[in-house]
Structure 1
Amino acid sequence: MSEYVSSKELSEYLEISQRRVQQLANEKILLKDSRNSFALKENVKRYIRYISPTFKNDEEQEESNEELNVKYKKEKIRLTKYQADEQQIKAQLAQKRVVPVDDVISALADLFSLMRTKLFNIPERAEMEILGETDADVLNKKLTAEIRDALYEICDHEEQTLQNIVEGKGEN
């Protein structure tokens, strides 16, 4: 039969305060019987398990090891996939099959800025040629020519920009 002790005696064995023994009992870490007595051996084991999470019986330890192995394998697979993806991206960069996003964003920003400038300059460039013109066909042809010239200029710049990105030269 197990030896039963009071909370005061158990606190002395465990080297904790009597109040802490009561708290642990309320948290169901330590078990007391209906007479408010504690089974000494059982509660010492429970307290050791509580303060030392690595203390487990063989079955719990085996279960824990299997769980850790599964987690380790999943993390190892994730790391291996990340490393493979990283190497693939480096290879594609070297083969110029992909380009850094920052380079593309910068090039597009420059291209859109040029586009805005060229399109906003159309009225100024066309103003002298169409000033006083009343024929709708002439106005239409001149404005169409100005728009076409601006778009061709933008397209020429776009082709050069893309070539520079692919060659890794950056923006001119």
Structure 2
Amino acid sequence: MKSDPHSSRPDASDGHSPQSRLLTQVILETFRLNGGLLSAGDALVGDLGLTSARWQVLGAVALEGRPLSVAQIARRMGLSRQAVQRVVNDLGAAGLVALQDNPDHKRARLVVMTGAGEAAYAEADRRQIVWAKGLVEGLGEEALSACLDVLRRLSARCEGDR
């Protein structure tokens, strides 16, 4: 018996174990969630001159607490250096970041938030906290902790494949 191509529940002949079938559903739902988070992020910070991508790059620098090279930001975010470079260029053109010389590497300049970048990031962070408090209602700390644990373990296993 073949799987119905329109069904979200393939039959047992598809080669999956029950766990790998569930994992596949988790992966698909994660892709859907990622799209929703990016859309929500864009809506939340669009009037600040940010997109989700710009916000993520500012966040990488803010959370590190020190200037980072584009390659360092890319590694922390799991993105290509080229993708991060494009976002850094956009942030620079908007006056939200500046590049400074890197004493450890002449060609890999460091990304530094400007005052305007710090202000935009702080306001984005404030808005995200309010948004997250509304989103989390009724989910429970135990369920969220279990979800976070599984996502971290899956991320570590994926990163081990690189």
What's the TM-score once normalised by structure 2's chain length? 0.26
More helix by share: 1
